[in-house]
Structure 1
């Protein structure tokens, strides 16, 4: 039987970003394999399963990752906490990368990166009877994994912004990701994405990423905003989420029909 190569990303997303490609994805707030498959079928480069604010938990990751992979689309997972075991479990399930929220310092970011790597470079637990190793059929995946996994650190607090250059310099931090709501609230301009202090913060994040050969990412509401950021040098762009895109589409069609949502 021929092995289906869609099953695991094997570092392709990380390599694409490293060579400067712009990639587009969407958040999965509903945390269901159906919405993961729908978004993957629609043509995104990646999906991001959100365990911090989304409706699901780790138990959804097994089916969500496989559903997106059926269209050769990798899944990145935002963990609910930076605890070591959280990242390891998701990587064992075949996640292409992990996004760490609420990171404040370079030391915290370095600890997160260690969770993505096996000893001696890190502290990830070692096992082969999992999806990443094809349930024991591909034990050599252990040797490849450290170079395959995408590490995404969020810059969403004032301490993180102050330390962004040091965070970007860390080996294993591949993407600096800005959540507009968190960062704008931290800067005391909640939701004001055109405020000078917020725009200056974005410029600083992008410069830190580019200065260290890393990618920068943001969450945006629509494709037009994503296009503007891509032109400015941002590479890891999330266009809304499964739930917000669905809600927006329903509202738009109701208005066309004469409804009053």
Structure 2
């Protein structure tokens, strides 16, 4: 039995737009709920959310019956954590703060088994193989792993063209909050100077044959990124969806009750 087909990787290769959402609540039940919403992909965030390998694993389990594809963002681009999330069953990995082509090449190697890569061969006892029931996993896993790298500062932007030459990268995700802050705009990703860099980057990524991705958290930014050609586009964050809707609901009915 071969490794499962990665539908998200295939969709990106076909040029299809994939609409996703960020998950920062770091709870299995919340992930299961998000899996019913109809998103093409969902990010299990290991960088800024309070996740560890067990909670990441539990959210992968929660999404197993969902049509939404889980994308695990690791906290840092290190081989040891990539190994763990792949063994836990992730097939798509998002790595933050990629600044050089050499770094990108090492990430590709971390996602592949020897002799081409450095991934440890221990998955036969892990969830990735359904505990040994996927007999040909080691022989077939590499081709189903989808690697997405985040370029989100000036150093990464300067190295973008070289990063885009690295084989094994499926997509490049622009981090607008980090990028705008590194450019001196303190999180204001709508600043014209920042938008100009984002537009240029998305075009270059697409021209290189990689999938361009980004996150929008307002109607205006999300529509702008879609118009710019973002292919895998996150349109919200679960924490903000909950917080904003709860605040609006409380305000609405408190005002009605007191009017």
By the TM > 0.5 criterion, same fold? yes
Task: Work out which of the residue numbers 75, 85, 88 in structure 1 matches 2:83.
Answer: 88
Give 5+ residue unaligned stretches, structure 2. Answer: none
For this pair of structures, how many residues does the alignment match?
254
Q: How does 1:1-261 map to 2 (within 5 A)?
A: 10-127=5-122, 128-222=124-218, 225-258=221-254
Deviation sequence 1:214-239 (CA, Å, 0-9, x none) = 11111111456434423331111112
The CA RMSD over aligned residues, in Å, is 1.9
Question: Is the partner of 2:173 in helix, strand or coil?
Answer: strand
Aligned partners of 1:22 and 1:230 also within 8 Å: no
Question: Is the partner of 1:132 in helix, strand or coil?
Answer: helix
C-alpha distance in structure 1 between counterparts of 2:185 and 2:208, whole Å: 28
Deviation sequence 1:192-227 (CA, Å, 0-9, x none) = 223232112112221221111111111111456434
Shift, 1:149, TM fit? 1.0
Deviation sequence 1:141-186 (CA, Å, 0-9, x none) = 2222111111111111111000111112211111111221100001
Aligned partners of 2:38 and 2:67 also within 8 Å: no
Give 5+ residue unaligned stretches, structure 1. Answer: none
